Amino acid sequence: MSSPFLKQVFQKDKTFRPKRKFEPGTQRFELHKRAQASLHAGLDLRQAVQLPPGEELNDWVAVHVVDFFNRLNLIYGTVSDGCTERSCPIMSGGPKYEYRWQDEHRFRKPTALSAPRYMDLLMDWVEVQINNEDIFPTNVGTPFPKNFLQAVRKIMSRLFRVFVHVYIHHFDRIAQMGSEAHVNTCYKHFYYFVTEFGLIDTKELEPLKEMTTRMCH
């Protein structure tokens, strides 16, 4: 990560959601450390995402979902000053793709929103999901719900839209800060992970299909 990126991320006037952390001594903390160690050792990302022998799939997935949420929060935070109601009145990924927001509370029907409003709602929604003990249990021995992977697919599909909007509408900002390599590595890691475990519909990947082909194949 380059220093301009770090400076931007840690500016005092930038507010980021607190990171969801794993408690030391827990199984998930150990998995988190192992996943991080693989990345720092320069292990091929395709291999780094594979389920380690003897580990539970749901634990491995939970660790990565939280990690991707934290990282995408930072990535969007670095371009958010250039993502405004005026510059991005519609949450889109180029002219062909528009994303509408829907949730269980205020927006029961898919609703067109500006990109910054959509991003706020998206990050808040994901944060609620990953802090919900019924979906992401933290106590050792508490089983994951039967619909855990289904819930994860929805989270990952929505997080993918952050990459779509950032790459298509704000990549000049990323490039200007010298953060291309960091964001590209993050994207590849995310892509290999969701495709390894079937956590995203192919149609969701369409907006970045050409770039992904160049970068990941």
88 annotated to bind ligand: yes
- Would the annotation count 64 as a binding residue? no
Q: Are 118 and 195 in contact (CB under 8 A)?
A: no
Give the side-chain half-sphere CA count within 13 A for 138: 13
Q: Which one-letter DSSP state was computed for residue 11?
A: -
Burial class (CB in 10 A: 0-12, 13-18, 19+), 139: exposed
Task: Tell me whether residue 83 is annotated as binding.
Answer: yes
Three-state DSSP at 100 gives strand
Query: Which amino acid appears at position 78 of this protein?
Result: T
- H or E segment to which residue 128 belongs: helix 115-130
216 is annotated as contributing to ligand binding: no
Q: Which of 149, 168, 169, 159 is nearest to 204 (CA)?
A: 159
CA–CA separation, 133 and 108 (whole Å): 24
Residue ranges for the binding site?
Answer: 83, 88, 165, 170
Residue ranges for the binding site for Zn(2+)?
Answer: 83, 88, 165, 170
